């Protein structure tokens, strides 16, 4: 029975892929030429209207990504109207009868392909991979599974996290194959019990951030930047974020021109080796020195500077011990800057008030 089901699924997938290939050619014929014309027109007209983009196009030699920021510098004054109009016109263009018919023909085998693919093994594999990854993270952070579970349930209760895959539950005592069910909200936060022996079930799933937590993680400096901004607001400190100064982006500028504090936020892979983390911390110190120089060149007097990292106190201490003789860290010390663990930042910033 399983072999027949597998063969049937394989034949449906093969037929769907054939249909996708055939209708993809029809869709390309119906849309490609005019689609490209509209996009190229929008790009060219946008360049013609903006002097900085003209300079970028006319620059001699090979163009690299850093050259774009150096030449353009400020995007706020660029008129993207022609390109935005070209993109906006694509929707009514694709709604025309000829294009709509081609899209419908293309969508049909795609739906058949999705229906023919059994995603359950993939979902379980992803959940297991996340389990292994989080186990390593908890060990690196010296965090217990019970503490993590409490935090996760709190996030779910506040609607900051939601299951992103089936919730796999099983009984470790009378295990006879995993039972798969969806558990949501308070049902998930209360321990589920085995229907045979009434013991608490083991539970495995993948979760996604939602609500304001997802919004915070999507910001430019991530959750660490949002946390830093929250502390500054709590203390009533006036600051500006994501400032472009001398071609470099400074995460936070606090205070007046005569008394400025510079803050940078850096997220590192906490599972990296101690040698790699030390190298990243040295790079952080070098960048902080560079940003302090740029801020002072812009007419501000920098009194304090710090780079806040997502490393724990012990992890950061070990990294700094490795860098005792590093010239970049000596330069950072001379500039008055320092690297601060996220755990120490609340006390550090409170002392600056």
Q: What is the pLDDT of residues 125-146, one digit of tens each?
A: 777 888 888 888 888 888 888 8
CA-CA distance, 351 to 278, in Å (whole number)?
Answer: 27
**Residue extents of the structural domains in the chain:** 2-118, 121-209, 219-350
Give the tens place of pLDDT for each residue, 46-101. Answer: 888 888 788 777 776 777 777 777 777 667 677 888 878 877 776 666 666 666 66
- Pairing state between β 167-170 and 202-204: antiparallel
CA-CA distance, 233 to 255, in Å (whole number)?
Answer: 13
Rounded mean pLDDT of the chain?
Answer: 79
- Fold entry, domain 219-350: Trna Endonuclease; Chain: A, domain 1 (3.40.1350)
CA-CA distance, 215 to 324, in Å (whole number)?
Answer: 38
Nearest CA-CA partner of 270 in 175, 171, 137, 148: 137
* Tokens (6 digits) for 277: 């983390």
For residues 303 and 257, the answer to whether their CB atoms sit within 8 Å is no
Percent pLDDT > 90 in the chain is 27
Name the most confidently modeled range: 100-104, 123-127, 204-208, 329-333.
Answer: 329-333
Q: Which of 64-73, 94-103, 227-236, 255-264 has the lowest mean pLDDT?
A: 94-103
For residues 349 and 314, the answer to whether their CB atoms sit within 8 Å is no
Q: Report the length, in residues, of the chain.
A: 353
pTM over cut 0.75: no
């Amino acid at each position: 029975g399983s072999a027949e089901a597998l063969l049937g699924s394989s034949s449906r997938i093969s037929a769907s892929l054939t249909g996708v290939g055939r209708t993809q050619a029809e869709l390309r014929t119906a849309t490609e030429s005019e689609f490209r014309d509209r996009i190229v027109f929008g790009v060219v007209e946008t360049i013609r209207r903006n002097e900085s983009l003209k300079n970028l196009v006319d620059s001699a030699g090979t163009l690299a990504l850093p050259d774009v920021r150096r030449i353009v510098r400020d995007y706020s004054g660029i008129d993207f109207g022609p390109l935005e109009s070209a993109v906006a016109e694509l929707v009514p263009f694709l709604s025309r009868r000829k294009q709509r018919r081609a899209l419908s023909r293309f969508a049909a085998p795609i739906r058949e392909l999705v229906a023919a693919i059994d995603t359950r093994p993939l979902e379980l594999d992803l959940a297991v991979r996340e389990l292994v990854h989080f186990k390593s993270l908890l060990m690196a952070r010296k965090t217990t599974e019970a503490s993590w579970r409490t935090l996760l349930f709190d996030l779910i209760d506040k609607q900051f996290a939601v299951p992103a895959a089936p919730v796999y539950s099983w009984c470790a005592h009378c295990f006879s194959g995993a039972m798969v069910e969806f558990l949501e909200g308070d049902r998930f936060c209360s321990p589920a019990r085995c229907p045979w022996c009434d013991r608490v079930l083991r539970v495995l799933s993948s979760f996604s951030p939602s609500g304001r937590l997802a919004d915070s993680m999507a910001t430019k400096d991530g959750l660490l930047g949002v946390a830093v901004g929250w502390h500054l607001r709590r203390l009533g400190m006036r600051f500006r974020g994501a400032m472009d100064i001398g071609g470099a982006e400074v995460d936070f500028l606090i205070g007046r021109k005569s008394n400025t504090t510079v803050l940078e936020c850096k997220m590192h892979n906490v599972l990296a080796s101690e040698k790699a983390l030390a190298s990243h911390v040295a790079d952080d110190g070098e960048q902080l020195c560079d940003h302090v120089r740029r801020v002072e060149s812009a007419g501000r007097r920098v009194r304090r500077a710090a780079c806040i990292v997502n490393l724990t106190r012990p992890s950061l201490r070990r990294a700094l011990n490795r860098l005792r003789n590093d010239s970049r860290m000596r330069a950072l010390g001379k500039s008055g800057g320092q690297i601060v663990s996220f755990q120490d930042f609340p006390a550090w910033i409170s002392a600056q008030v």
